[in-house]
Structure 1
Amino acid sequence: MGLSYNEDELLKLLAIAIVNSPRSTIKELAEASGISKATLHRFCGTRGNLEVMLNKKANDVIDNILLVLDSEITDYREGLKQIILIHYENKEFLRFMCGATCDDGIENWSFYFKALDNFFLKGQKQGTFKIEISVSTLSEIFVALICGMIDGENRGRIASAGAAELFENFFLYGAVNK
């Protein structure tokens, strides 16, 4: 490809550009990503192709999260840390997934929530997570918090450094100083 970026880095930059300016042209997306229009054209051809590429990458991210959620986990705190890190390592694609206006939805969205519910249920059975809170509520809180943290980071209200650890601690222990 001859780019100074690898494909994932470039896709992350383009995902951010689309989320920040959903109606932008290919030229504007290229400028926002720090590449030329010609380079972007060689990379994806059209904006439609770019959106397909980003949707595929977002689906791949969800597949990776599903692999972790469906794996044999013995330590649910460690498992939680692992799924938080995957979310943060791919936050650009997750922001695209949640904010894109593309016609193609995330194919695995319902599987994601089922796997997350199952993860929390198993963690409750092991005693890691409170049983007073339903698994669907834990899943919704998890998704709302992680999306909120990623969005706040994007808007400059939350520092990137240590955000995943902050999320993990807040999710496990809350904000109350005991």
Structure 2
Amino acid sequence: MAPDDERLLKLLTTAIVNHPRATMKDLAVLAGVSKATLNRHYGTRANLEYQLEAHAKGVLAQITRTAELHSAEPLHALQYLIKEHLTHRDMLALLLFENRPKTPPLENEESYAKDLDAFFLRGQHLGVFRIDISAAAFTELFINLVYGMVDAERRGRAASSRSASTLVQIFLHGSVASAASNLPE
């Protein structure tokens, strides 16, 4: 994808996340392009939304590829995953909050979850992550914590400057204070 196309998709993602009911004309203005350019590139609002969703899912797949999940030290890879997911918070918000017709699953959507599953399983084998929780459950918890934090930021309930460190702390150490660590399960 050309850098200008990617830049336009990012601008449109931000526009549609912040103004979900905006018309194509409004989105064009928010992205700094003409309505004709927007129509030429995407045609309909439905096609635009499909392209944005496909791009967002591609970004997630790219994050897992660049995180070196199969070879990097698990704690560093986890921090990288969190940082990169939060870097692309508008993409996450688009995937999470947009009310659009369900598009067919994309090939990279399945590989995203499989990559995370394999990462957490590798971390379990290395003794970094608990073994009493399945790798698939770790994946679901990770995704839901990251998406939840993005939602909390959007609603003003969490500071974006602290989101990454909060996620690392909660994911790795839970929510129990060290003095209360002897509480019953």
Instruction: Give the TM-score of the pair, scaled to structure 2.
Output: 0.77
CA deviation string 1:16-67 (max 9, x = no partner)? 3333444431123345556664564466454234223312321321221331
Structure 1 residues 20 and 76: alpha-carbon distance in aligned structure 2, compared to 1, 3 A threshold? same
Partners of 1:153 and 1:159 within 8 A in 2: yes
Distance (whole Å) between structure 1 residues aligned to residue 88 and residue 149 of structure 2:
13
- The residue aligned with 1:130 is 130
Distance (whole Å) between structure 2 residues aligned to residue 47 and residue 174 of structure 1:
42
Partners of 2:61 and 2:111 within 8 A in 1: no
- The residue aligned with 1:88 is 86
Partners of 1:68 and 1:79 within 8 A in 2: no
Partners of 1:120 and 1:135 within 8 A in 2: yes
- The residue aligned with 1:120 is 120
State the Cα distance separating 1:174 from its structure 2 match. 1.6
Three-state SS of the structure 1 residue aligned to 2:160 is: coil
Residue 117 of structure 1 aligns with an amino acid whose one-letter code is D
Give the aligned CA root-mean-square deviation in angstroms. Answer: 2.7
1:88-107 aligned within 5 A:
88-100=86-98, 101-107=100-106
Structure 1 residues 74 and 66: alpha-carbon distance in aligned structure 2, compared to 1, 3 A threshold? closer
Distance (whole Å) between structure 2 residues aligned to residue 162 and residue 106 of structure 1:
33
CA deviation string 1:68-126 (max 9, x = no partner)? 46643241000101111221111111221223314424512222222111111100111
Identical counterparts, % of pairs: 39
Structure 1 residues 88 and 116: alpha-carbon distance in aligned structure 2, compared to 1, 3 A threshold? same
Structure 1 residues 162 and 36: alpha-carbon distance in aligned structure 2, compared to 1, 3 A threshold? farther
Distance (whole Å) between structure 2 residues aligned to residue 10 and residue 158 of structure 1:
28
Partners of 1:55 and 1:106 within 8 A in 2: no
1:164 lines up with 2:164 in the alignment:
yes
Q: Which structure 2 residue ranges, 5 or more long, are not aligned?
A: 179-185
Distance (whole Å) between structure 2 residues aligned to residue 129 and residue 31 of structure 1:
47
Partners of 1:116 and 1:139 within 8 A in 2: yes
Partners of 1:59 and 1:106 within 8 A in 2: no
Distance (whole Å) between structure 1 residues aligned to residue 112 and residue 92 of structure 2:
12
State the Cα distance separating 1:152 from its structure 2 match. 0.9
Distance (whole Å) between structure 1 residues aligned to residue 34 and residue 126 of structure 2:
53
1:1-178 aligned within 5 A:
7-31=5-29, 33=31, 37=35, 40-41=38-39, 44-68=42-66, 71-100=69-98, 101-107=100-106, 108-178=108-178
- The residue aligned with 1:3 is none
State the Cα distance separating 1:148 from its structure 2 match. 0.4
State the Cα distance separating 1:127 from its structure 2 match. 1.1
Structure 1 residues 49 and 173: alpha-carbon distance in aligned structure 2, compared to 1, 3 A threshold? same
Q: Number of residue pairs matched? A: 174
Distance (whole Å) between structure 2 residues aligned to residue 114 and residue 61 of structure 1:
15
Residue 104 of structure 1 aligns with an amino acid whose one-letter code is T
Distance (whole Å) between structure 2 residues aligned to residue 177 and residue 30 of structure 1:
48
